[in-house]
């Protein structure tokens, strides 16, 4: 089952938090995203059911290989697109917001072409 944009955002958030914290809990995801704990609880239940995360008995959230693959892809797209837009002269706040929207819909071919262009034109 393909991840929805919402699921991709949650997985990316878990990845980012896991780089900053020794463990990630639902409350951390709630604080990071600004969504209510009840909404996060439902989202984590769905991500677990779809095989994207595991949750320990202590409530620690871990990305599965499947979840990590998606989170890494979305995070890379976000980083590359944000940086590219900023290089083009777009305000940083707008660049990050636009990258967040585009990262979910851009084809692998278009993203690869953008990465190639950026690397060849520093």
Q: What three-state secondary structure class fits 55?
A: strand
- For the stretch 64-112, pLDDT in tens is 999 999 999 999 999 999 999 999 999 999 999 999 999 999 999 999 9
Nearest to 66 by CA among 78, 56, 54, 58: 54
Same domain, 80 and 102: yes
Burial of 99: CB neighbours in 10 Å, binned 0-12, 13-18, 19+ = buried
Residues 53, 91 within the same domain: no
pTM over 0.85: yes
* Closest to 71 in 3D by CA, of 104, 29, 40: 104
User: How many domains does the chain divide into?
Assistant: 2
* Same structural domain, 36 and 53: yes
Same domain? For 13 and 60 the reply is yes
Q: What is the pLDDT of residues 14-45, one digit of tens each?
A: 999 999 999 999 999 999 999 999 999 999 99
Q: What is the C-alpha to C-alpha distance for residues 81 and 84, in angstroms, rounded to an integer?
A: 5
Same domain, 46 and 90: no
Compute the Cα dihedral for 95, 44, 76, 21 and give only its sign: positive
Task: Give me the domain span that covers residue 84.
Answer: 75-120
Task: Please give the Cα distance from 80 to 93 (Å, whole number).
Answer: 15
93 in the same domain as 47: no
Query: Among 46, 69, 92, where does a domain finish?
Result: 69
Same domain, 46 and 97: no
Asked whether residue 55 falls in the same domain as residue 82, the answer is no
Same domain for 96 and 53 = no
């Amino acid at each position: 089952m393909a991840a929805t944009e919402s699921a991709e955002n949650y997985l990316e958030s878990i990845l980012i938090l896991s780089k900053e914290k020794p463990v990630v809990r639902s409350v951390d995801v709630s604080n990071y995203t600004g969504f209510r704990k009840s909404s996060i609880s439902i989202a984590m239940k769905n991500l677990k059911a779809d095989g994207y995360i595991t949750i320990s008995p202590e409530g620690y959230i871990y990305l599965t290989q499947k979840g990590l693959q998606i989170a890494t892809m979305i995070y890379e797209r976000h980083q590359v697109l944000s940086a590219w837009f900023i290089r083009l002269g777009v305000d940083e706040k707008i660049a990050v917001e636009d990258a967040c929207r585009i990262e979910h819909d851009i084809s692998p071919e278009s993203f690869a072409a953008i990465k190639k262009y950026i690397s060849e034109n520093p």
